Amino acid sequence: MFWFTGMHNPKLQLLVHGENIASSSVSLTYPGVKLLKVNKVENPNYLFLDLTIAPAAKAGKFPINFAVNGKKIFTYTYELKNRDKSAGRIQGVTNKDFIYLLMPDRFSNGDKSNDVVQGLAETALNRDSMYYRHGGDIQGVINHLDYLKDLGITTIWMTPEIENDMPHASYHGYAVTNHYKIDPRYGTNALYKKYVELAHAKGLKVIKDIVHNHIGTQHWFYKDLPMKSWLNQWPKYTQTSYRDQTVMDIHASAADRKQMLDGWFVPSMPDLNQRNPYVQNYLTQNHIWWIEYAGIDGLRLDTYGYNDPVYMADWALKVQAEFPHLSVFGETLVTAVANQAFFTGGNTVNRGFDTHLQGITDATLKDAIYEGINGKNGWVDGINRLYATLAHDFLYKNPNTNCIFLDNHDMSRFYSMVDEDFDKYKMGMSILLTMRGIPQMYYGTEILMKNFSNPDGLIRSDFPGGWEGDKKDKFVADGRTNKENEAFNFVKTLANFRKNSAALQTGKLMQFVPQDDIYVYFRYNAEPKGTVMVVVNNTEKEKTLNTDRFAERTTGITSAKNVITGENIEFKNIKVPAKTTLVLELN
C-alpha cells in the first residue's frame, strides 16, 4: 500500500489489521508526515492511524513502528509517491463520448495462464455454464482496443475488475473481497494500469465501475469485522425493499426508508454502514487511490440510490476536489424522471444538501425509447412517451451528463426486446446515437447478440471469437453473417459520424410535438452548419413529412444528407419509410 504527495486533502487514515495489533504503540518519523492519532476500535485486531501529509512532503519510504511495552515487534515500510501529472490522464467523460460496456469475464480471454488461480474459492472454469467463470480478462480487452476504436467507441466501461474471491457466480464483479486488488483471474494492478495507458494512447477513455453499497461475504474484513457498526446490522436478515421512492417521499415511513437504505441487497452481499466515519474514509480513499494510480477518466457508481445520501454528497466533494475533470454518474434504475433527477446535483428541494452527482443512468429515457419503438401511438403512448419524457428535462441541472442506454448487464438485450426486428434495431440505435446525453452500448449489440434476462446469465454470453478455438470470430467481418455486418456497419457509421459532429457532441436539443405519428428533433449549435435533424416514423406505413413546420431550425436549408446512406435529398417533402429513424445532416 502507498499514498501520494500533493493531494488536496492532507488527511490520510491507514487501516492496520493484525492479531491483537491494538496492544501496540505506534510511531513514525518522516519529514512532512505527522501521526495525529491512533484509534482503537471494538476489535483488537484493528488500528486506524490518522496522519497528515504536509504540502511540502517529499516522495519516499518510511517505517511505521509497532511496539509493545517499549519493545519493537514489527515495522511496516510505507511509501509516498509523487502524483502523476502526465498529459491525457483523468480526462472526464462527456456527451462527446460513446461508451462500450463489457463484462471482462465474457468478452475475450487474452491470457489463458490466469484462467484458474489456485487458492481462490472458485477454481472451476466452464464456458458451458452461465454462472461459472469463462476466462475473459483484461488482456483480452487490450487485444481488442483497435476493434473498439474502429467501431467508433471512445470510452470503455468494464464491470468491476477488483477481486471477487467468492465460492460461486461472482464473475460479475459486484461482490468485492479486496478493494485494492485486481482479481487475479483478470490480471494484476500493474496490468490494469497498463490497460488504461494503452487505451489513452489510442484515444480511448476508461470508466471504472465501483460499489459503495455492499461487499462480498468472503471479504477479509467481513470475516473479521473491525466493529459491529461496520455493517448495517439487523436482528435477522433483512433485504432492501428496492423502493427508491422511500428516499424522496415526504410522506414516507422512517422504517420503510431505513429498509431501503440499510437492508442488504442479497444475502451474499453485506451492506456497508456508510454513516460510520471509518467506513467512509476507507471507501473514499480507496476510490481516490484507484483514480490517481491508474489515471481513469470516469466512475460509474453501482446501486447509487441504496447508499447513504449524506455520505455520498461528501464523497462527491472529496473526490472532485482531487480530480476536477473526473466524470461520475450513478446507477438509478427507477421508474420516473423525477426519481432520477432527485439524485442528481443541484436538486436541493426537500433535501437540504446537494448530492453533487453529475449524472445518472437514464432508465426512464430507455423505457420511453422502447415505448416509442414498440408501442402503439396514443395521446401519451408510443412515440408521444418519448417526447413527454424529454419534456421533463427541466428537472435536471444538466441532462447532457446523463448516461443513456438501451440495455446493460442487468436487463434483456435490446435486439430481443424489439423482437429481433432489424428495422426497429436501427431505429433505436439511431435515437441512442443522436440523443442528448452520453450514449452507452452493451457489448455485442453491434453484432445483434440477443437473449432475455431471466436468467441473467443468458444476457452475459461470451463474445464469439474472444476465445481460442471459437467456431466464429465476430471481431472480424469474415466471421460475421451478412446481417451482423450490416448491424456492425450501421453502428460504426453513426458512431464515427458522431465523433465529428459538433451538433451531436455539444449541441442543444429541440423537439417538436409529434404529429401524424412522426416525431422530429434537432441537435444544433449557434452555427447552423452541421445541424442534425432526426425523424422517427414508428408506424407500418411510409410517411411524407412537410418541413415547413420546422422553420425556426431550418430557415435557408435546401437539402440534407442522409448520414447512413450518404444520399443528398431535397429538403421539402421528405419521404420517411415505415419503421425508420432518419438521421439528416442539414446543408
Determine the average pLDDT of the residues in 15-28.
Answer: 97
Determine the average pLDDT of the residues in 44-49.
Answer: 98
The whole-angstrom separation of Cα 534 and Cα 542 is 16
Count: domains in the chain: 3
Give the model's pLDDT for residue 348.
83
CA 32 to mean position of chain CA atoms: 37
- CA dihedral sign of residues 51, 56, 62, 63: negative
Which of 81, 107, 137 corresponds to the end of one domain? 81
Give the model's pLDDT for residue 529.
80
Q: Is 527 a residue whose pLDDT tops 90?
A: no
The whole-angstrom separation of Cα 531 and Cα 518 is 19
Exposed/middle/buried for residue 158 (C-beta within 10 Å: 0-12, 13-18, 19+): buried
Q: Which helix or strand (DSSP H or E) is residue 279 part of?
A: helix 277-294
Exposed/middle/buried for residue 127 (C-beta within 10 Å: 0-12, 13-18, 19+): middle
Determine the average pLDDT of the residues in 283-298.
Answer: 98
Determine the average pLDDT of the residues in 291-320.
Answer: 98
**What percentage of the chain carries pLDDT values higher than 90?**
97
Q: From residue 93, give the alpha-carbon distance in Å to each of 65, 379, 478, 546.
A: 42, 36, 33, 38
> Residue 25's beta-bridge partner residues?
67
> 200 with 316, same domain?
yes
Determine the average pLDDT of the residues in 500-525.
Answer: 97
Q: Which cell numbers hold the place of 20?
A: 491483537
> 214 with 342, same domain?
yes
- CA dihedral sign of residues 192, 197, 203, 207: positive
> 54 with 195, same domain?
no
Contact yes or no for 9/321 (Cβ under 8 A): yes
Give the model's pLDDT for residue 506.
94
Q: Is residue 158 part of a domain?
A: yes
Q: From residue 547, give the alpha-carbon distance in Å to each of 250, 321, 328, 533, 559.
A: 46, 48, 39, 11, 11
Contact yes or no for 517/383 (Cβ under 8 A): yes
Average pLDDT along the chain: 97
Which of 500, 520, 550 corresponds to the end of one domain? 500
What are the strands, taking DSSP E only, across 285-344?
A: 298-301, 327-330
pLDDT category of residue 352 using cuts at 50, 70 and 90:
confident
Which of 463, 483, 500 corresponds to the end of one domain? 500
Q: Is residue 51 part of a domain?
A: yes
> 555 with 426, same domain?
no
> 452 with 344, same domain?
yes
> 455 with 569, same domain?
no
Q: Is 473 a residue whose pLDDT tops 90?
A: yes
Q: Is residue 313 part of a domain?
A: yes
Exposed/middle/buried for residue 117 (C-beta within 10 Å: 0-12, 13-18, 19+): middle
pLDDT category of residue 158 using cuts at 50, 70 and 90:
very high
Closest CA relative to residue 262, chosen from 298, 308, 219: 308
> 325 with 471, same domain?
yes
Q: Which cell numbers hold the place of 384?
A: 408521444
> 410 with 522, same domain?
no
Q: Is 140 a residue whose pLDDT tops 90?
A: yes
- CA dihedral sign of residues 218, 223, 225, 228: positive
Give the model's pLDDT for residue 182.
98
Q: Is residue 88 part of a domain?
A: no
CA 358 to mean position of chain CA atoms: 13
**What would the pLDDT profile of 542-558 be if each residue is shown by its tens digit?**
999 999 999 999 999 99
Determine the average pLDDT of the residues in 135-152.
Answer: 98
Q: Which helix or strand (DSSP H or E) is residue 75 part of?
A: strand 71-81
Q: Is 183 a residue whose pLDDT tops 80?
A: yes
- What CATH number is given to the structural domain containing 414? 3.20.20.80
**What would the pLDDT profile of 189-198 be if each residue is shown by its tens digit?**
999 999 999 9
- Close Cβ partners of 216 (under 8 Å, ≥ 6 residues apart): 164, 165, 166, 170, 175, 176, 177, 222, 268, 269, 270
Q: Which helix or strand (DSSP H or E) is residue 518 part of?
A: strand 518-524
Active site residue 567: no
Furthest C-alpha separation in the chain: 91
**Residue from 105, 161, 183, 302 carrying the catalytic annotation:** 302
pLDDT category of residue 455 using cuts at 50, 70 and 90:
confident
> 335 with 186, same domain?
yes
> 192 with 330, same domain?
yes
Q: Is residue 391 part of a domain?
A: yes
Q: Is residue 549 part of a domain?
A: yes
Q: Is residue 93 part of a domain?
A: no
> 227 with 200, same domain?
yes
- What CATH number is given to the structural domain containing 19? 2.60.40.10
- What CATH number is given to the structural domain containing 514? 2.60.40.1180
Determine the average pLDDT of the residues in 467-489.
Answer: 98
Domain limits at 534? Answer: 508-586
Determine the average pLDDT of the residues in 103-124.
Answer: 97
Active site residue 331: yes
> 294 with 319, same domain?
yes
pLDDT category of residue 456 using cuts at 50, 70 and 90:
confident
Give the model's pLDDT for residue 351.
84
Cα-Cα end-to-end distance for the chain: 57
Determine the average pLDDT of the residues in 16-22.
Answer: 97
- Close Cβ partners of 3 (under 8 Å, ≥ 6 residues apart): 12, 53, 78, 79, 80, 81, 289
**Residue from 209, 244, 322, 331 carrying the catalytic annotation:** 331
The whole-angstrom separation of Cα 521 and Cα 368 is 15
pLDDT category of residue 501 using cuts at 50, 70 and 90:
very high
Q: In what order do the strands lie in the sheet with 11-17?
A: 11-17, 46-53, 33-40
Q: Is 128 a residue whose pLDDT tops 80?
A: yes
pLDDT category of residue 528 using cuts at 50, 70 and 90:
confident
